[in-house]
Amino acid sequence: MNGFREPMLASPTERRFSSPDWVFERKLDGMRALAVRDGGLPRLWSRNGRRIDESFPEIVEALTELGGPRFTADGEIVAFDGRQTSFARLQARIHLTGAARIAATGVEVYYYLFDLPSYGGEDLSRVPLRERKGLLRRAFEYRDPLRYSVHRNTEGEALYADACARGWEGLIAKRAASRYRSGRSRDWLKFKCVRDQEFVVGGFTDPQGSRTGFGALLVGYHDGRGPLRYAGKVGTGYDERTLRLLRARLDAMEQDASPFTGPIREPGAHWVRPEMVVQVGFTEWTPDGRLRHPRYQGERADKRAADVAREAV
């Protein structure tokens, strides 16, 4: 338990419910991170097993000072835009290293802890969640940038309505007696207030007029283990820097054949290896399976393209 392990993941659901057997936490719009310490300095891992210590040195420092010598803690790294967590704002920090470059962004980050799979060398994965949360609350001293993710009991439907009214991403519902298991589970469920999810980039279009970089990303999702299903083109949400940086990345990934199933009739389309994952906000799915009013929110370097599927709302 003191090395990297695949984190436990929530499953999307359209059902909202209340139950004394479940607890409810705020759904944060950030980057999932496991913190692991085994006597030395803490290490931070993204959910797909990538070391991210150097991008978030203030979190490593806080874990060193405020935690014990041995633990595996699970949480979410976030940045705020006003009172809301913002993955788009966090983008400025995700790929940066070096104290001067990080400080120049002006983006402060916080690490919300919500689970404790191991502590003091003891495997806690079989301990019920409610008990793990109590242990987590006592295991660390919480000072910024380290924060405890509070939960509420029973009243899932009322809490969901309140979360949406506050402009939150939604709630995560967790079975109070659940064990900590790697991979996606129905013991953790997403109650989403907003429509956004990850998509795989399979191509892009040429820029038009004064636009630089590219016109739109062509995105899709996996239906089982087959080829990508096309979900539409994403042409908004980019600044000039993002357009230039993404175009350089896309040029290095270009290939002759489309990775999507079926013909895609987009003028000026270029195809790329389906490896890049991006987060996209949208208003709804159209009847023919396309995104309505999609907007780019950022790259998801912490998620594997093979795992991207269409989510329920």
Residues 121 and 105 in one domain: yes
Amino acid 184 reads R
Alpha helices in 95-224 (DSSP H): 99-105, 129-139, 156-165
**Can you give the pTM of this predicted structure?**
0.85
Alpha-carbon 302 to chain mean position: 7
Rounded Cα gap, residues 47 and 124, in angstroms: 19
Do 148 and 216 have their domain in common?
no
Q: What three-state secondary structure class fits 291?
A: strand
pLDDT at residue 313, rounded to an integer: 56
Alpha helix stretches (DSSP H) within the chain: 57-66, 87-94, 99-105, 129-139, 156-165, 240-252
Compute the distance between CA of residue 115 and CA of residue 129 in angstroms, rounded to an integer: 8
- 41 and 155 fall within a common domain: yes
Residue 107 has a CB neighbour count (10 Å cut-off) of 17
**Domain-terminating residue out of 147, 176, 192:** 192
Same domain, 52 and 84: yes
Q: Which of 127, 162, 192 is the last residue of a domain?
A: 192
Q: One of 27, 133, 174, 303 is an active-site residue; which one?
A: 27
Mean pLDDT of the chain: 94
**Which tens digit of pLDDT belongs to each residue from 200-249?**
999 999 999 889 999 999 999 998 777 899 999 999 999 999 999 999 99
Give how far Cα 251 sits from Cα of 33, 247, 272, 301, Å: 30, 6, 8, 18
Regarding whether 173 and 37 lie in a shared domain, the answer is yes
Q: Would you tell me how many other CB atoms lie within 10 Å of the CB of residue 123?
A: 13
Both 165 and 133 in one domain: the answer is: yes
For residues 35 and 115, state if they share a domain: yes
Question: pLDDT tens-digit profile of 142-186?
Answer: 999 999 999 999 999 999 999 999 999 999 999 999 999 999 999
Output phi, psi for 193, to 5 deg.
-90, -30
Bond from prior residue into 145 cis (ω within 30 degrees of 0): yes
Q: How far apart are CA 75 and CA 257, in angstroms?
A: 39
Domain count, the chain: 2
pLDDT at 249: 95
Residue 259 lies in a domain: yes
- Residue where a domain terminates, one of 176, 192, 208: 192
- Per-residue pLDDT reduced to its tens digit, 7-58: 999 999 989 999 999 999 999 999 999 999 999 999 999 999 999 999 999 9
Q: Are residues 119 and 214 in the same domain?
A: no
Cα gap 289→116, rounded to integer Å: 39
Q: What is the pLDDT of residues 121-138, one digit of tens each?
A: 999 999 999 999 999 999
Domain identity same for 35 and 131: yes
Is there a single domain that holds both residue 283 and residue 214? Answer: yes
pLDDT tens, 54-93? Answer: 999 999 999 999 999 999 999 999 999 999 999 989 998 9
Label residue 61 exposed, middle or buried (CB < 10 Å: 0-12, 13-18, 19+).
middle
Active site residue 174: no
| CATH number of the domain residue 108 falls in | 3.30.470.30
Residue 257: which domain range? Answer: 196-307
